[in-house]
Amino acid sequence: MKKMNEAEERGIVIVGGGICGLATALALHRKGIRSLVLERSECLRATGAAMTIRANGWRALDHLGLGSLLRKDSVHIDGFGTMKLDQGTKLAKSPLSKGEARCIRRSDLVEALAKDLPHGTIRFRCHVISVKLDPVTSYAVLELNNGIVIKAKVLIGCDGVNSIVLRYLRMNPTKFSATCAIRGLASYPEGHGFDNLFTIAIKEQVAVGRVPVNDTLVYWFITRLWIPTDSEMSRNQEMIKMSSIKAIKDFPEEMKQTIQNSDQSSLSCLRFRYRAPWDLILGSFRKGTVTVAGDALHAMSPFIGQGGSASLEDAIVIARCLAQKISESNGNMVFEKCTVDKCEEALDQYAKERRMRLIKLSMQSYLLNKMFETSSLVVKLFCILFMAVFFRDSAGHSQFDCGHL
């Protein structure tokens, strides 16, 4: 094991090479700032098959210079189709009220984010196992599973729901929801023929969603209550497929067919995790020159489909704040000349810009998740009232503009 004085010294280190970590590294790169991404996996991960990106996410992707590329292989979603099976099989259609929505393959997104990074920015098989403070330099000291020690002047934790960096900030851990989702991609080589709608069918506490990615590929998900046997089932993709078909036995045949058409390797089952909105109100987003972003900071249930887009926004804001302070401190983009104080100011600015936005997103997704998982009419009513008062425009979250890089 290396001692602290043998440690490799780095400017900006990002823990986690998921959507948020890669987007943050790319945003910094676009501003001419180098960073190092430490990822514990052996290669880029794209668990979850696909995701919808609303107007705010596309704005962030445009700022990263990836919007046009990613739009090429994804169709525009024109509206929603809702089927309440307790009331029949009629599909109630409504147009997309505001802005742009598209569904993209996660692999397309992470590959696009990684492709433009300078060689050597991402280091795979680097599992960070502890984060400490160097009292002399005020740098964060990271210990990796392979014995390597890295000292980071600025540390950004983009390490997801079990974030080790978040523990260093002493924020409360994320909580488990009573709900889970099974997700997959279905392939129709001859064309699927579905309208470009985000279609959702609901029966009691089971919801099945379907969104076209392009003319031959469809993303689907099943949201239902989590049961203890799901832990084992989620490790076996054949069992996930069988369980999915069983869960929707009373749903329209074409939905079952979509699951039958799925590529087994695209299937995953995940219990939702979330950060309670009050933790975002009270928690400190920064300690010294260490902060967190993405799911590490604001994991939320996917009922408003904003976790990934909010992570892209984090990336833009964090890079912009750091770039501003670096240029204030030395006129050029020379990060090495930026003082620790200036780095702290940049992270405070990031926290200030993001806090209210994230509180609103996490509150809205928290209420929707509660409404879905509860069987109590009183709780449901409370959630509906709260939503009516604070989230009258239920799609308002997609209008947010995180600003330019």
Ligand X SMILES: Cc1cc2nc3c(=O)[nH]c(=O)nc-3n(C[C@H](O)[C@H](O)[C@H](O)COP(=O)(O)OP(=O)(O)OC[C@H]3O[C@@H](n4cnc5c(N)ncnc54)[C@H](O)[C@@H]3O)c2cc1C
Residues 344-383 that bind ligand X (CB under 6 A): none
Token pair listed for 346 = 């940049």
Of the listed pieces 281-289, 298-306, 339-347, 393-401, which binds ligand X according to CB under 6 A?
A: 298-306
Measured from the CB atom, the residue of 141 and 338 that comes closer to ligand X is: 141
Measured from the CB atom, the residue of 122 and 326 that comes closer to ligand X is: 122
42: CB partners within 8 A, 6+ apart: 124, 125
Of the listed pieces 6-14, 40-48, 195-203, 347-355, which binds ligand X according to CB under 6 A?
A: 40-48
Residue 185's DSSP bridge partners are 219
| Dihedral angle computed from the Cα positions of residues 54, 391, 347 and 52, in that order, rounded to the nearest 10 degrees | -20
Residue 48 binds ligand X, judged by CB under 6 A: yes
Cα distances from 93 to residues 191, 207, 396, in angstroms, run 22, 17, 19
Count how many residues are written for the chain.
405
Measured from the CB atom, the residue of 46 and 347 that comes closer to ligand X is: 46
CB 84 within 8 A of CB 71: no
Q: Which of 308, 306, 374, 260 lies closest to 113, judged by CA?
A: 308
Find the shortest distance in angstroms from Cβ 15 to ligand X.
5
Residue 184 binds ligand X, judged by CB under 6 A: no
Radius of gyration of the chain (CA): 21
Strands 122-123 and 36-38: parallel
Find the shortest distance in angstroms from Cβ 168 to ligand X.
11
**Of these, 14, 35, 52, 322, which contacts ligand X (CB under 6 A)?**
52
Of the listed pieces 33-41, 93-101, 113-121, 197-205, which binds ligand X according to CB under 6 A?
A: 33-41
Measured from the CB atom, the residue of 129 and 384 that comes closer to ligand X is: 129
Total of residues contacting ligand X (CB under 6 A): 38
Of the listed pieces 6-14, 52-60, 245-253, 385-393, which binds ligand X according to CB under 6 A?
A: 52-60
Binding mask 133-152 for ligand X (x = CB under 6 A): --------------------
Residue 157's DSSP bridge partners are 15, 292
Find the shortest distance in angstroms from Cβ 334 to ligand X.
28
**Of these, 11, 21, 184, 283, which contacts ligand X (CB under 6 A)?**
21
Find the shortest distance in angstroms from Cβ 246 to ligand X.
19
**Of these, 19, 140, 269, 321, which contacts ligand X (CB under 6 A)?**
19
CB 157 within 8 A of CB 296: yes
**Of these, 31, 34, 127, 355, which contacts ligand X (CB under 6 A)?**
127
Residue 159 binds ligand X, judged by CB under 6 A: yes
Q: Which of 135, 61, 39 lies closest to 340, judged by CA?
A: 135
CB 53 within 8 A of CB 398: no
Find the shortest distance in angstroms from Cβ 372 to ligand X.
13
Residue 220's DSSP bridge partners are 184, 210
**Of these, 12, 14, 49, 51, which contacts ligand X (CB under 6 A)?**
51
Residue 395 class from Cβ within 10 Å (0-12 exposed, 13-18 middle, 19+ buried)? Answer: middle
| DSSP letters spanning 58-81 | HHHHHHTT-HHHHHTTSPBP-EEE
Strands 128-133 and 197-203: unpaired
Q: Other CB atoms closer than 10 Å to residue 250's CB: what's the count?
A: 10
Cα distances from 149 to residues 88, 154, 243, in angstroms, run 61, 15, 44
**Of these, 184, 209, 288, 294, which contacts ligand X (CB under 6 A)?**
294
Residue 128 binds ligand X, judged by CB under 6 A: yes
Find the shortest distance in angstroms from Cβ 190 to ligand X.
26
Residues of this chain that interact with ligand X (CB under 6 A) are 15-21, 38-41, 45, 48, 51-53, 57, 126-128, 158-160, 164, 181, 183, 270, 272, 294-296, 302, 305-309, 311
